[in-house]
Chain A
Amino acid sequence: MIVDLNTFLGHYPFRRLRFTTAGDMVAHLDAHGIEAALVSPTHAFFYRDAHRGNEELLEAVGPFPGRLFAVGMVNPAYAGWERDLRWLAEQGRVKAIALAPEHHAYRLADDRGQAALQQIAELKLPVVLTQRLEDRRQRHHWDIADDLKVDDVVTAANVPTLRLVLLNWLGLPADKLLAAGLRGRCLIDFARMSVVMSKDVPKLIEALGPESIGFGSHMPFDYTAAALVKQSNVLEVLPDVAEQIAWKNADRFLGLGLSDGGR
């Protein structure tokens, strides 16, 4: 079984994506032998009111229980976000809450960011931080969001009970994450990392434990097969942790219920 942590649903303003609907995403998962996906709301990055993106995503994934698990997003720089966050938690239909400080024009270290991190922690939901949607060297001139920095991860890690899901990251220094107390508190997908060659994945496993890594493809932005090659290499060179990385870590960290025959 494979659970893809790093997937997005919706249109992207700067490039045509090959699929934008939940039905097409499920067909794509089926074609690639992927059981389930944690789905982030692309529109919520761009809408003034991010919560409208949540509503769209929940409506889209509704028909696919056990296959598509929603991530909610809140914008603490926007009116009514606390109510939206409580609603998302009470509904129990999202597995994590994403923050997009670059797109929503605040900082995790400022009052708004701190309030969001604290409240997400109080609700015992993990926070999702996506480093980038696409490479900055090809940015559309309206796309002014920079990549998130390691300091943003450390800022979030400073909220003691908060658990972090880190999507689409590269250049995460294992020692910094360890010093920030993230061992056992984070789940990192490998979409932009390597298993062989520069060996980002083995290095993170060494520092943070095999429970810290999960499968991620960054679909539909990126080729899913690239992540499957990495998972194949995990099977070949790190077989004892392959199942953890493929799905068990995601299941446990996010409470997906897949090991209980959740589908």
Chain B
Amino acid sequence: MPVVSRRRFLSTTAGLGAGLGAVAAAGGGALAAQVEKSAKESSSDLRGLPAGWRTMKKLDAHNHVMQGVHKPGADWSAVERTVEAAKILGIDTLYCSRPLTGGVMASIEAVRDANDSVLAAMKRYPDVIAGYCFVQPGNGKDALEEIDRCIDAGMIGIKLYNQFKYSDPAVFPVAEKCIELKIPFLGHSAYLTDPKTKEAQPRTSNARDFGELATRYPELLLILGHINGGGDWEWAIRTLRDFPTVYLDTSGSVLEDDTIDLCVRELGHRRLLFATDLTMEGGVGKILGAKLTPEQREDIFWRNFQGILDRRPK
């Protein structure tokens, strides 16, 4: 477990002097050592959490680098905070993308620029950050070439946002490329029931769109992103019962009780991939709070996703 000092933790907030004087002054103690101690000594574990939860292996299958950190003089603070949080929570690897949001039909130059920031983060934190290539299918042949560029540079899969529904034929060449390279296709998803949100994201794919793509391409390593990313997750889980080849990741800002448990009851635990999508404490907490056997928890925390990664050619 790498060292994160308390002084360093506090220094990455806006100052934290007045309200935390004694805490800030205390700094210097190695947080990592405390974390390891916590994992070993149940006395410092909170009773409601599984013992040693911090040291359980975790692969975060859906996370982000959302800043242009590849540019000179870039502000790395958000990435640093994300990496620091991963260390504190015992997340071994963050699989990150930088999607262009807001439904923007981004040019290939903008897409390359977004992916370059993830590549820069991978270079700076090779032991923590891995990358997904963001793709805008409307870029056609350029999109496919961008996938090659990113995978050759060490990325592990592709990430789509809401520029196209995944049942749209524009997406098919991207799916075929993923099959050819044996890489995962992670897609933004939500079954939105709020009229305002739906209006703002008319091409957001729901579980049925994923199902249509999976039916067309049963060999595709398709991951429905953030089951708790906002939207009716019960509907999504029910729908996915009919599409057994679709994986789903557990991330999202919604921390609703029974989500993970319902996934396991309805879909089995092997299709579930631990992820946080930047809701890092809650994302870990959901998996710890679900009624799982230790083996099921391990599978969800890392083994299921490792199985997907292992399909790529060595």
A contact residues vs B (CB 8 Å cutoff): 2, 15-18, 31-34, 134-141, 191-192, 194-199, 202-203, 205-210, 218-233, 235-241
Known contacts A197-B278, A203-B14: A137-B45 contact under CB 8 Å: no
B1-30 residues at the A interface, CB under 8 angstroms: 6, 9-10, 12-20, 22-23, 26
Interface stretch of the complex, out of B124-132, B152-160, B251-259, B304-312: B251-259
Q: Could you say which of A34, A206, A229 contacts B285, with CB atoms under 8 Å apart?
A: A229
Known: A139-B193, A197-B81, A226-B281. 19 other contacts (CB 8 A): A17-B257, A31-B48, A33-B48, A34-B48, A134-B256, A135-B253, A136-B197, A137-B193, A137-B197, A139-B194, A141-B193, A196-B281, A202-B16, A207-B19, A209-B19, A210-B20, A222-B256, A229-B53, A238-B20
Residue of B nearest to A140 (CB): B193
Contact assessment for A228 and B194 in the assembled complex, using a CB-CB cutoff below 8 Å: no
Q: Could you say which of B12, B84, B230 contacts A137, with CB atoms under 8 Å apart?
A: B230
11 contacts between A and B (CB under 8 A): A15-B234, A135-B253, A197-B81, A197-B278, A203-B16, A210-B19, A223-B290, A226-B282, A229-B89, A229-B282, A238-B20
- Judge if B34 is at the interface, Cβ distance under 8 Å: yes
Please report the C-alpha to C-alpha distance between residue A140 and residue B259 in the assembled complex, in whole angstroms. 17
Interface size bracket, B side: 35 or more
Chain A residues near B286 (CB, 8 Å)?
A: 223, 225-226
- Judge if B167 is at the interface, Cβ distance under 8 Å: no
Chain B residues near A194 (CB, 8 Å)?
A: 85, 279-281
- Judge if B47 is at the interface, Cβ distance under 8 Å: yes
Q: How far is the CB of A229 from chain B (nearest CB, A)?
A: 4
Q: How far is the CB of B306 from chain A (nearest CB, A)?
A: 23
Contact assessment for B81 and A199 in the assembled complex, using a CB-CB cutoff below 8 Å: yes
Q: Could you say which of B17, B23, B253, B255 contacts A223, with CB atoms under 8 Å apart?
A: B255
Contact assessment for A226 and B81 in the assembled complex, using a CB-CB cutoff below 8 Å: no
Please report the C-alpha to C-alpha distance between residue A227 and residue B192 in the assembled complex, in whole angstroms. 26
Contact assessment for B17 and A206 in the assembled complex, using a CB-CB cutoff below 8 Å: yes
Chain A residues near B88 (CB, 8 Å)?
A: 196, 233, 236-237
Q: Could you say which of A141, A227, A230, A237 contacts B9, with CB atoms under 8 Å apart?
A: A237
Please report the C-alpha to C-alpha distance between residue A187 and residue B257 in the assembled complex, in whole angstroms. 24
Please report the C-alpha to C-alpha distance between residue A83 and residue B150 in the assembled complex, in whole angstroms. 68
Q: How far is the CB of B28 from chain A (nearest CB, A)?
A: 13
Chain B residues near A134 (CB, 8 Å)?
A: 254, 256
Contact assessment for B23 and A238 in the assembled complex, using a CB-CB cutoff below 8 Å: yes
- Judge if B288 is at the interface, Cβ distance under 8 Å: yes
Please report the C-alpha to C-alpha distance between residue A163 and residue B14 in the assembled complex, in whole angstroms. 26
- Judge if B233 is at the interface, Cβ distance under 8 Å: yes
Please report the C-alpha to C-alpha distance between residue A6 and residue B271 in the assembled complex, in whole angstroms. 32
Q: How far is the CB of A226 from chain B (nearest CB, A)?
A: 3
Chain B residues near A32 (CB, 8 Å)?
A: 47-48
Chain A residues near B20 (CB, 8 Å)?
A: 202, 205-206, 210, 238, 240-241
Contact assessment for B285 and A237 in the assembled complex, using a CB-CB cutoff below 8 Å: no
Please report the C-alpha to C-alpha distance between residue A262 and residue B194 in the assembled complex, in whole angstroms. 45
Q: How far is the CB of B23 from chain A (nearest CB, A)?
A: 4
B82-125 residues at the A interface, CB under 8 angstroms: 82, 84-85, 88-89
Please report the C-alpha to C-alpha distance between residue A226 and residue B197 in the assembled complex, in whole angstroms. 26
Contact assessment for B49 and A135 in the assembled complex, using a CB-CB cutoff below 8 Å: no
Q: Could you say which of B6, B16, B46, B285 contacts A33, with CB atoms under 8 Å apart?
A: B46
- Judge if B35 is at the interface, Cβ distance under 8 Å: yes
Interface pairs A-B: 5 shortest CB-CB: A225-B289, A33-B47, A226-B285, A32-B48, A137-B230
Please report the C-alpha to C-alpha distance between residue A259 and residue B59 in the assembled complex, in whole angstroms. 41
Chain A residues near B84 (CB, 8 Å)?
A: 196-197
Q: How far is the CB of A144 from chain B (nearest CB, A)?
A: 10
Please report the C-alpha to C-alpha distance between residue A15 and residue B84 in the assembled complex, in whole angstroms. 36
Q: How far is the CB of A230 from chain B (nearest CB, A)?
A: 5
